[in-house]
A and B are shown apart, each in its own frame.
Chain A
Amino acid sequence: MSLVFFWLASGWHVLLLLLSTTIDWRSGNSIHASSDKRVRKRWLMISLITNLSLLSIFKYLDFLIRSFNLAALKISNSPGLDELGLALPVGISFYTFQTMSYTIDIYRRKTVPYQSFVDFGCYASFFPQLVAGPIVRADDFKTQLDRPMSYNSANIKIGLTLIVYGLFKKIVFADNLALHANQIFTEGEHLGNIGLIWWASLCFGIQIYCDFSAYTNIALGSARLLGISLPENFKTPYAATSPQDFWRRWHISLSTWLRDYLYIPLGGSRHGQRVMLFALMTTMILGGLWHGASWNFVIWGLVHGLLLVGHRFLSKLNLVEKLFINFKTGSTIISWIITQYLVFLTWLIFRIEDVGVLFESMKTFVGIGGYFDFSEFMLFLPEIKLLTFALAVIFIIGHGFSGRFGGFVYQLSKQRSIAWGLTVGLMISVMYFLQPAESVDFIYFRF
């Protein structure tokens, strides 16, 4: 079923998924079966090289050619190489990372191979999360597959709630706010107006969260309907009070993957500051690059790496420690404001591909040469303004509260049938009638 789903979405690219699945299956079994370290390593390398090659060829090769051409043009004005123009296979970043973790975990003897190829195939290509995650660990999935499937009504209710909530976030919040962010960033006008840049950044921040977490909710909900529980990917990231805290709440399955399979192997934080710095910056830059073959993602990862480093050093300062001890609430609020200010600043890097527009926007965002003109602000925004403002306010309030009560999905799921039906009916109505005419693709489908 998953393969049919993938074939419908991605055509012949299903063969790449089959190739990756087959090689990782074979590698996993061979690693597990052998006690010879060299053999085990060789099979691990086969798995890693296969997956990273697929990723490199289909996702990064054209980017490298483009970068090479640019450099060659600057240096020698020589004619460039032709780009391959390969279409990006759907979900390649997710399933390659997922199956790599499988062979690495077997190599590390943290897990054992799946007993059947079908089970492993199901893990590698599980359709609800195949396209945009979350990245599931083999062991977590296997445990559930090994259990008898439990199609109970509670799971159905939770699954439906997750799906409706995901669709609600995507259609009502993400797609409506996207119109504002797109207008400002695409037009590239009035970039000196600080109001417009802050608003665009806020809109995009809400959009990307509601978009990505919505997909995760739908994936989790669909999996739940099949009796599978997938891990949470977000925990109110805009409540984070430090860059480190942010990465514990944002795209958790990727950040933990990067931590376990990149940061720690590169040395982590237990081998001195230099190693830690190297490991952290490398992890974050590669993490940025994972998002897309573009320099702005590299810079985005780099800046987040710098923020994490900066936070590490700052948090160890005596003054800061004392402040947090003596003025806990005040310090927490200030660090929340600073963290979110910086996080939303980095969204500009994530969103804007045009260097000129990005540079102007960032300057304005931090207040260099910016101005505020309310009339221009109102004039330049799309026609639907007040509704979008209202949605932003509702999101901020909802986001702030949802963490305190175990989350909206939990609260809704435990409601009795009439209250649940009324709320879901209301959500469906709002979704139906507030769906913008222009639909926007899930952002993380690109990755």
Chain B
Amino acid sequence: MQGNEACAEGALAAGLSFFAGYPITPSSEIAEILSQRLPRIGGRFIQMEDEIASMGAVIGASLVGVKAMTATSGPGFSLKQENIGYAAIAEIPCVIVNVMRGGPSTGLPTLPSQGDVMQARWGSHGDHPVIVLAPYSVRETFELTVRAFNLAEQYRVPVILLMDEIVGHVNEKVRLPHPSEIEIIDRQKPMVSPEDYLPYCQTEDDIPPMANFGEGYRYHVTGLCHDETGFPTNDPAKINSLLRRINRKIERYRDDIIEVAELELGDAEIGVVAYGSTARSARRAVIMAREEGIKVGLLRPVTLWPFPEEQVTKLADQVKRIIVPEMNLGQVAQLVKCSAEGKTKVVPLTRVDGEPISPQQILDLLKK
């Protein structure tokens, strides 16, 4: 099974019933598969007129209470940013898949890249919450797609599944979990009557319950800064409370949201921080280096945003240097540098020629 296929399967397993998309390489398989599968389970697929439209349709569908997703790649991801910001401020759960290709602009449509890490976090204007997950295998793509929906529903945020062309197109044998083994989280619905419903109320957990459109609650949703009732406000205290709360939702649940994978870190003297398909090469390089007696370990952020700062700081305390291989000019290396707080040397290993970073390249750097 291909990574893109695993993404579609994961979405269906998570309860997807609406997909809106626009054709773009290398993510098109996701739309193609879902155009075939969704109507079979009574769900709906639509190919919209552009990337902006598909993001808008996903938000509209989610407001009615269905699980909704779109999939794209770099240029399309740029276009979707406007409405991703809307989903963030209006707190509409949704999943956006970006199968990264080389950029900027039209760039390298069929070649791999990891150049959208910063865009995934900061692509839409203003301080806004998003969660970004980066799978490194076909199996993990399935699992993280399910998780993306669960996180979106739980925290009422847009969740970005940041795949890359290699993960999207690689074929691997996977055994998918039985539906009974899959945990599904649904958004919290209001427990109060429509008269008492405050769609953006300050709750103890910072996540207001969400009513479905059409079920009697008749509330207002806007991309303007709003108060607890959902209506626009210019009151500085209310603006402050809204913007701090929607961003705090992520910060206060970092421990739940952040997932990292570790390999051979126990006695490591050199650390490698790698994610997505580059972590596949890094994993191989660590195994090869260990065979040669080099004490090296791998820290793999599965959650890219919020960034696992504490885990990297801990690694920086332990190792003499950290190597960060990635298919961009050092976007995560910068984050690692910040988290390392000068405790250790951080060495970026960058590549932007449309070719993957090989295990040998990483091994060569480990030996230096």
Q: Is the pairing of A and B real? A: no
